[in-house]
Amino acid sequence: MKIKPEVFLIQKQKVDFKKILVTGNDETFINYTTQYLIDHYKMNGFFIEDSGDIRSGVLGNLFSEKKVLFFFKNPSSKNIDEYSNTNENILVSSNNAKSVKNLKLNLTKSKDSVVFDCYPLSRAGKELVVKGFVNVNKIKISSDVYWYIVENFENEYVFLINQLHSLLLFNKDIVYISDVEKIVFIENKIEINKIFFQILKNNKLLITFFNKNIFTNSDFYIFLNSIKLYLSIISSSKNQDEAVLKFPKYMFNEKDVFLKIYNYLNKTKIKKIYKNIFRAERLLRSNSSLFSVIGLRFLINTKKIIIS
């Protein structure tokens, strides 16, 4: 079956599926949904097996009660049939590549499986998220503020949620649009999203900027997701003009640096950076307390790839 991920996340629906596919073209949304699912399974006693192989009978660890979730990130097409036919619990996270087309079709037809399609929110989806967030957090907003949020906040789920969380810094009654403008800096996203645009500076400045903005494990995940967003824009654009059109409006001050990075990159370098990201994510899952060390190594290695 198919479930809209924004509905699933806002309503905190029960996760009760044998096989799960998280796909789409919003990389940040895909990773956010995937991490939410992984955290849910961990909390319910599952051992997350992410080696890339399905090994029947694996016991996980002493704390998993023999329940295992096999996690696959951007798998190759040769393994797809195995995922469809296995009786194990599986979670596949991938973009809309041809390699998952058949898997998506098979899981959509199955009652004990689910497909989450992660795309920028439609108008209806955005309204649902805003209403859900406001209700859950018991925030009272005027009609004018509501429509202002729908019209002006981001269409990407993760960025939208970050903006909505900013409203919690205000009081519970938000009547005027000017109040929202004061607390939510729409044209200036959180500094974490700007770390990528410091990457051409010398290492001392780059490390200083990183350390001033990355204080938690969650901060590092936001940073990784922001890089995936920019890489997705670059890799999916035929030329600079198309890339600029896709570039987030709220980051307009970083456009010149973005274009410099665009000119540095090619398909080979982008693939290397993605491998670097996946390696960092894997290390982070097993050594979450070392997020700062892992993050700095990732940052310097990514810089080397870009300028090489």
Confidence of residue 171 (pLDDT cuts 50, 70, 90): low
The mean pLDDT of 121-148, rounded to a whole number, is 90
Whole-angstrom Cα distance, residue 199 to residue 31? Answer: 22
* Beta carbons of 277 and 298 less than 8 angstroms apart: yes
Beta bridge partners of 202: none
> How big is the chain, counted in residues?
308
Q: Kindly provide the b/e burial profile for residues 177-201, where b requires at least 16 CB atoms within 10 angstroms of the residue's own CB.
A: eebbeeebeeeebeebbbbbbbbee
pLDDT (0 to 100) of residue 46: 82
Confidence class of residue 187 from pLDDT cuts 50, 70 and 90?
A: very low
* Structure-block tokens of residue 178: 């000017």
Average pLDDT over residues 113-123: 90
Mean pLDDT, the chain, integer: 82
* Residue 189 pLDDT exceeds 80: no
Q: What is the pLDDT of residues 204-238, one digit of tens each?
A: 989 988 888 888 887 788 888 888 888 988 988 88
Q: What is the CA radius of gyration of the chain?
A: 20
- CA 185, CA 303: separation in Å to the nearest integer? 28
Give per-residue pLDDT as tens, 228-287. 888 988 988 888 888 888 887 667 778 889 999 999 999 999 999 999 999 998 898 888
On whether the CB atoms of residues 193 and 251 are closer than 8 A, the answer is: yes
Please tell me the pTM assigned to this model: 0.58
Q: Is 70 exceeded by the pLDDT of residue 54?
A: no
Contacts of 297 (CB under 8 A, 6+ apart): 280
Reported confidence tier of residue 112, pLDDT bands at 50, 70, 90: confident
Contact 168, 140 (CB under 8 A): no
Residue 308: is its pLDDT beyond 90? Answer: no
Query: Residue range 4-29: average pLDDT?
Result: 86
Residue 89 to residue 150: CA distance in whole angstroms: 37
Angstrom distance (rounded) from CA 23 to CA 116: 6
The string of pLDDT tens digits covering residues 56-110 is 444 444 444 558 878 888 776 666 666 767 778 888 888 766 677 778 888 888 8
pLDDT for res 109: 84
Burial of 105 (0-12, 13-18, 19+ CB in 10 A): exposed
CATH class of 5-118: alpha beta
Of 270, 261, 267, nearest in space to 195 by CA: 261
Residue 302 has pLDDT above 90, yes or no: yes
The pLDDT of 38-46, averaged and rounded, is 83
Over range 112-129, report the average pLDDT.
Answer: 91
Q: Has residue 130 got a pLDDT over 90?
A: yes
* Those residues with Cβ within 8 angstroms of residue 240's Cβ, 6 or more apart along the chain or in another chain: 259, 262, 263
What per-residue confidence (pLDDT) applies to 303?
A: 93
Indicate the helix (H) or strand (E) that contains 48.
strand 46-49
CB atoms within 10 A of CB 206: 18
